[in-house]
Amino acid sequence: MKIKNNTGKQNTVIAIVGPTGSGKTACAVELAKQLETEVISADSRQIFKEFDIATAKPSFEERQGIKHHLIDVVEPVQEFTVADFADNARKVIDELFAKGKTPVVAGGTGLYFRILLENYDMPRVAPNKELRNELQEIADKQGVEKIYQMLCELDPVLAKNMHPNNTVKIIRALEVCKTLNMPMSQAQKVKPEAEYNVIWLGLNSEDRQFLYNRTDIRVDKMVESGVEQEAKMLYEKYGRIPSLMNTIAYQEFIEYFDGLISYEECIEKIKQNTRRYVKRQLTWFRRNSEINWFEVQDGNFINKLCEFIVK
């Protein structure tokens, strides 16, 4: 099967992006089957082991024999940065190219795609435990709003695109800004030349309510599959996991376990936060004018998508 190439570069990568619940996994698997290739997950939560239901990690049945990379990479308490993702993903891409295969990168974490495929260079800044502890103490005593305001002053561009309650990411961003003595958004420089010929495929629906209904059904299925038990197991085994404290279907259950909200409120918050995340994902990906969007309400959209990438 011959793939389109609009850049003149020999190495083509197919990127499948879109909001939660849009069908990226099924689409990636079908494409990989037709192209006889493998899938690289670009999901910042599926990299964690023991965190399967809340992240909608594809089961072995759903993978249909297609090899998936960058799933179950690290323990829940381990740190895994964007730079770590890029390094690991590039290694897999190079291995697939060596086999004559076209990598399919699929997921909903916009920053992963930016650093890997949008020609941005991520600054390498080693963790500064002392600074992190100092910032965490400020957040604990004065609230996360205080460190978010600090980020707004140091890097308003990055702050605008970051959730104001994401303590872990805010601290990391401040760490980079302070270490480099410049805004992190400026440090993410564009490389002079693109590494790959990227075919961007986006899944979406013009009917936003359709997507919201799908995410509500998705949450209900997560509950039936035991997402509460999964969150409780992680909580009892590791305590509060910093890297997951702003993760949907973990943060809400922590509030429930601590008696701050009822079970019904917990489930409703998961649904509300998922809808908000869908909105943020779409806002992020719509900045990329190279994405070719496909309507997921079209029952034939996967076939149309496959036809699109063939020259």
Q: What is the pLDDT of residues 194-206, one digit of tens each?
A: 789 999 999 999 9
76 and 65 inside one domain = yes
The CATH number assigned to the domain holding 280 equals 3.40.50.300
77 and 183 inside one domain = no
pLDDT in the model for residue 311? 57
Which residues does residue 189 pair with via DSSP β-bridges, in sequence order? 121
290 and 227 inside one domain = yes
Q: Which of 160, 187, 214 is the last residue of a domain?
A: 187
1: in domain: no
**105, 174, 183, 286, 302 from 12: Cα distances, Å:** 11, 35, 32, 22, 19
100 and 112 inside one domain = yes
112 and 257 inside one domain = yes
Amino acid at 166: N
Q: Which of 187, 208, 228 is the last residue of a domain?
A: 187
| Domain span holding position 145 | 129-187
**Locus of tokens 């034939």:** 300
207 and 164 inside one domain = no
Q: What is the distance between the alpha carbons of residues 138 and 70, in angstroms, rounded to a whole number?
A: 34
> pLDDT digits over 247-280, tens only?
999 999 999 999 999 999 999 999 999 999 999 9
253: in domain: yes
51 and 198 inside one domain = yes
243 and 203 inside one domain = yes
The CATH number assigned to the domain holding 172 equals 1.10.20.140
Total tally of structural domains belonging to the chain:
2
pLDDT in the model for residue 119? 75
Q: Which of 170, 187, 204 is the last residue of a domain?
A: 187
pLDDT in the model for residue 190? 64
243: in domain: yes
CB 171 within 8 A of CB 147: yes
Q: Which residues of the chain have pLDDT under 70?
A: 1-10, 189-192, 310-311
% of the chain with per-residue pLDDT over 70: 95
**181, 224, 246, 258 from 266: Cα distances, Å:** 40, 15, 14, 11
Write the CB contacts of 178 (distance below 8 Å, at least 6 apart in sequence). 131, 154
87 and 26 inside one domain = yes
5: in domain: no
214: in domain: yes
CB 268 within 8 A of CB 201: no
pLDDT in the model for residue 256? 98
Q: What is the distance between the alpha carbons of residues 38 and 65, in angstroms, rounded to a whole number?
A: 10
84 and 166 inside one domain = no
Q: What pTM, to 2 d.p., does this model score?
A: 0.84
pLDDT in the model for residue 131? 93
237: in domain: yes
**Locus of tokens 């192209």:** 35
6: in domain: no
149: in domain: yes
105 and 136 inside one domain = no
259 and 198 inside one domain = yes
